[in-house]
Structure 1
Amino acid sequence: MRLKLVAVAVAALAPVVAMLVYNEVALRHQRNEEVRASAAQAARQASSEVERIIEGLHALLVSVAAMPSVRQLDVPACNAALEAVVESIPNIRTIFVVGLDGQPICGSMAFPEGVIFSDRDYFQQMLTTKAFVVGTYTQSRLVDRPVLPLAMPLMEGDVMKAVIVSGIRVDWLQNRITERGVATGNAVTIADGNGTIVARVPSPERFVGTAMPDAYQRLIHADQPDVIELMSEDGTERILGYRPIALPSNPLYVSAGFSKEEAFAPINRATTMNTLAIIGGALFAFLAAIFIGNRFILVPISRIADVMEKWRGGQTTARTGMKGPDELGVVGATFDRLLDELDERRRQSQEAEEERSLLIRELAHRVKNGFTLVQAIARQTFSRSDPERYNSFAERLAALAGTYDLILSREGSASSVREIVSAALRAHVASQAERIRLDGPEVVLPADIALPLSLVVHELATNATKYGSLGSEYGTVTIEWKHDDGRVLLIWTEADGPPVSIPTKKGFGSILIERAFPAQAQARSRSDYRPGGLVFEVIFLIGEPVAKGEVDPSG
């Protein structure tokens, strides 16, 4: 029962849990979409800022190319002009003009002896494209610091006469990204076309100047910007929005990653609280179910069951004593009323049984008195004139009285075949018990069959004593009976007696045997006078009458 109560509590909690789970899944899905959108937006913003920086420097180089001293390649005037420009722009270290052979011409600072730039990738690319070029992460040969080179051609009409070169300070770019601020767990990465990281937040000292892992190199030259989930190099699982170099006017790869742990922290906290609340509610519900079940369900049921067990044990005065408006209280009160009614019926039944027993004893007494009176009348009438007939009548009367005693002593209207036969043979069994054998199952006969059978057996025993096997020294009688489908077949077999012959006339005994049973018994009998002794068979019904056409025992 406790398990059933717990199951009820679980069933009550199931919709709440299902709703919370659904809300949890929906909130996580919604939050995931929000974080992906935020990552994509952050990547766009960072990329736009880098583009503005590059565009600003491009415009600066265009202005430098328009300066007369630069266009005329007047070295002293060019040096002075470029030095003045660099002093007012903090995000670059140098601006210088290089010949098409890679030899420096003029610049914002003095050139080291023998320095040349013709081997630089950005220089070769600019000579090929004759367009503005943003180079890759490079260690400057002028200031020995990492820079991001910028180069554009100095044109004279359609002829390129020199190359103007500058470079974005990597430390300045890193400071600019750091100043923007990045939430805990998030990351912003800027890389060049070779996959070398030029700026990163957080941990720039660990990553700037290193190449991105091979697994992420494909993102640098992807066809379209996208948002993915990945495990970053620092071991943080992030939702990453990225913008590849392949985009128009996008000179650098830019990505912004949001930590899933931080992004989902509020939902995780809410999930933890909800889980604890569900567990607490479930524990409370289970304890309440157990307590309430014990108090209001199990205890009343146990009380009712205990009273039933006491009734089975004979304590008929046991009651639940339950009352109240609740259902089990009503059941208990109804059960008590039922027990009161059963107790009253039992008392009335006992009184009726006592009255019936008294009546039966009175009837037995009156029947015995009637038999005694009949026997006395018979003795006074013809015991002296015809002693033989009187003795035969007295024996028959005694057999009938014995059967009545058997029936009345059982306080019912039925007796078994064995008891009826034994009572009818009592006068003969007393002296010849070892010569009479009874064999058959336990079959109970109603009174209207028991009395005729008793008289028939008595007549057979009397004839066997006078004329048959019981009249000789070694003769025997076997009485067998069988029961099948409401029928009883009784067979009387005499053996080792004097030779018998078919009687020439019917006496009272023969007539009694033929007519003793009532019509509803459908009794049929057969007598076989064999040389070794009489074999008598009688078959009769003790239940519903059988259909016509049943086999007669006489064949």
Structure 2
Amino acid sequence: MLGFRPKLTLTQRLLALVAMAAVPALAGLVYLIIAIHQERKHEVRDLAFRSSQITSLEVERIVSGTNGILQALALASDVVGGDVTACSDYLDSLTSRLPQFRGFDVVALDGSMVCGSSDLPIRQEDVLSSSWFQDAKASGAFSVGVYGGAQPGEVGYLPLALPVLRAGHPTLILLAGIDLDWLAARLGDRISTEGGAVVIADRNGTILARQPEHDRYVGERMRDPFPSLIRLGTPGVIESRSGDGVGRIVGYQPPAANGIGLYVGTGISTKNAFDPIFASTWRSIAIAAIGVLAAAVIVWWLGNRLLRAPLLRILTTVESWRAGDETARTGIARDGSEISFLAAATDEYMDAVLADRAARRLAEDHRTLLLREMSHRIKNVLATVQAIANQTFRDGAGPDSLRAFGQRLSAMAATHDLLISSHWQSTDLRAAVEAAIGPFAGETEESRFRLNGPRVEITAKGAFSLSMALHELCTNAAKYGALSAPGGYVTIDWTLRESTDGRRFRLSWKEHGGPPSSEPTRIGFGTRLVRAVFTSEFDAHTALEFPQSGVSFDLDADADQILAKTR
């Protein structure tokens, strides 16, 4: 056997040599194709899962926003005060301004409708059998219902309910109906690839919104295997064929995972996700075949040097890439040969994959940061509004209280606009003061306010506190003080000084030319706010006095706490 010599012609021997030389290239190509397919499959599954998470967060934001609106309605006297006409008019007006809602209703505990929007009629028997009514009444808490309210030829809505509590017991149930066509339109922005799909369903498996073809699927039950996913406790990814016959990789968030009682799923078309990879595979195979044929021609004089070495280099690059070295490249420039084309295509693909990973990672990090920042800001603003509402309406919710509440919110909004322009870090103190006193400055050429102080930057918390205090002082001055008299005016001065305790910031308010002032016989919310708004923070001391010459207010605070570093 060792002395066996096959009877082959020179051409046959060269072809055999070319075939042997092509083995490493073919092995490297197969290895690369498998690695690329596995990597792409992992990326698509990860993208589907992340898309379902982001869509679920968007739906949770919509539900929590509705909860906030219902809580605000529970405090509105026009809604819960007993005037049916005023209530219905108020809810109709609110519905016209909020396109995401079909309407709002106020329901008694016996299931009868007290008042509501004209676009959201309900019947007592339907209310009594509904899950949203039973859950809200039994739990005394916000409830997310199931698909309902569908009339012949119409699309239903998603009911969300909140009980109005008195002494810890429900007295009324507030109902908000989410418009499912509006919800489907919002889902359209979440379809990231051609052939993708997004579905939201209730806990019974009824489709609330779907893109694409929302009108075809809304109100229908989901088909297998998707109903079984609703009963799961954790999110995940499956590969299945949807009701429209399209195979998709689907990331899903079951009701138990998102805490809002709704199923959220996002699908990526398998065909569209892998067609470019299959095309690249066939191109790579074609390139390899061309390389083998070219090698057969030049094997006499360049065989090993031009064929085997470049292929081994490609394999080494692929191995390094698989081992985690994302900087590995073949480094072979295009020179017109098939092998160099294969190497360059490999490098370009690796560059594209790396850039895509980096861009996706950056986008996800940025989106997460924005969601956390938005959640933080919304919670802070809602807490402040709730505190102001509790104090303003503590003694009742009459027209004066509503007007005062609106003015206080306007003062907050003006400062909010200033802080937005500076990325919510700080703002110019003079600009913050001018925004707070603007509604009281008047339209005459002679200013009612005289401001004096250095240019400094005040922190976001400091700006809000200062805005609320100046608003209350202006309101008092307009009613009883210097701003109520034709020639009256107010001086606002601020200074920075060094002391044994460090840098101190001082601001003073003094009224001139108004009627004689005196200590109020009753301390209202405005006076309490002016005295207390700074004392819990900033290491501050305040003094509010009422001499006959006019009201004065002095603030002495730690400059390093209330002021920001100059930008």
Per the normalisation by structure 2, the TM-score is 0.48
Per the normalisation by structure 1, the TM-score is 0.49
